[in-house]
Amino acid sequence: MPELPEVETVRRGLIGPLEGRVLARVRQYRPDLRWPLPADFAGRLTGRRVERLDRRAKFILARLDDGQVWITHLGMSGRMVLSRDVTLPPGPHDHVVIETDGGDIVTFNDVRRFGMMDLVPEDELPEHFLLRDLGPEPLGNAFNDTVLSAALAGRRTPIKAALLDQKIVAGLGNIYVCEALYHAGISPKRLARSVAGKRAARLVPAIRDVLDRAIAAGGSSLRDYVQASGELGYFQHDFAVYGREGDPCRSCGKPVTRIVQSGRSTFYCGACQR
């Protein structure tokens, strides 16, 4: 599933085609994705101007000129594909196609249909069931070692599981949690409560650095993910531990270990991470 850097990369790729543009024609080819699309979804989008594109966790938020917010989650395989060729027929997995007054075509393609879209009034956004319980943005000013320490205090779950909890910090997924824990020198098996304090002070900048570098590289192209431009992200070539089971650690040379935590693969160096 695309994580924060991939979603942020897509958002940035959509700013040019969408921000400030009128959604001149909207075509909807099915009534649902993961959940049913809103009633008259295509009709309510048609003619609206996109005032601003934001991101919250793994959600893209298009703020419209009528006070509505168009929410998009890419799910496991969703892609926003850009084109300017109006003659191309929709493919079997093209579910929503949007033409702007600037001549750009944005197609939401989702093979597995685990993505979602919704339309909600701006003033109801904070209480939307998918957004209301999210923790702070890891790249925002509200996320720091004091906040993280308070969120981890007393928690007996492994730190890896705690960081995947979107109520603790928003937008992190399996890949970048593994990478951040490695760069902070913290074992993924360590109890979350023991990370509060000095370890949290190491972990917060590690999380920020990993995310910043991944965004700069255009995300990680794993399985179905590509950028809105169709280009691949390259951060997977910079992975320190993720997907490198048995390979030498780049710091100490000992083999990278893979374990399973809560049904997810965890990669780490047992010598460097304590």
pLDDT at 114: 94
pLDDT at 257: 98
pLDDT at 238: 78
Kindly tell me if the per-residue pLDDT of 84 is higher than 80: yes
Single out the catalytic residue among 3, 6, 8, 99. Answer: 3
pLDDT at 138: 97
93, with CB counted inside 10 A (0-12, 13-18, 19+), is middle
pLDDT, average across residues 78-98: 90
CATH no. of 145-268: 1.10.8.50
Sign of CA dihedral 114, 117, 121, 125: positive
- Per residue in 223-271, pLDDT (tens digit) is 344 445 554 333 445 799 999 999 999 999 999 999 999 999 999 999 9
Where are the domains positioned within the chain?
A: 4-127, 145-268
**By the 8 A CB rule, do 109 and 74 touch?**
no
Is 4-127 CATH 3.20.190.10?
yes
Single out the catalytic residue among 56, 58, 63, 199. Answer: 58
Q: Is 3 a catalytic residue?
A: yes
Burial code of 223-254, b = ≥16 C-beta within 10 A, e = fewer?
A: ebbbbbbeeebebbeebbbbebeeeebeeeee
pLDDT, average across residues 72-101: 91
- Per residue in 7-66, pLDDT (tens digit) is 998 898 899 999 999 999 999 999 999 999 999 999 999 999 999 999 999 999 999 999
Single out the catalytic residue among 2, 136, 138, 158. Answer: 2
- Per residue in 206-222, pLDDT (tens digit) is 999 999 998 888 755 43
Q: Can you list the pairs that 268-272 forms with residues at least 24 positions away whose Cβ atoms lie under 8 Å?
A: 268/178, 268/181, 268/182, 268/187, 268/188, 268/241, 269/182, 269/241, 270/187, 272/182, 272/185
pLDDT at 232: 37
Q: Is 248 a catalytic residue?
A: no
* Beta-sheet strands, E only, within 138-269: 257-261, 264-268
pLDDT at 222: 38
pLDDT at 85: 86
Rounded Cα distance between 267 and 240, Å, is 9
- Per residue in 95-142, pLDDT (tens digit) is 999 999 999 999 999 999 999 999 999 999 999 999 999 999 999 999
Single out the catalytic residue among 113, 193, 258, 264. Answer: 264
Q: Is 138 a catalytic residue?
A: no
**pTM of this structure:** 0.90
Q: Is 58 a catalytic residue?
A: yes
Residue 108 one-letter amino acid: F
Q: Which two tokens stand for residue 195?
A: 């990370």
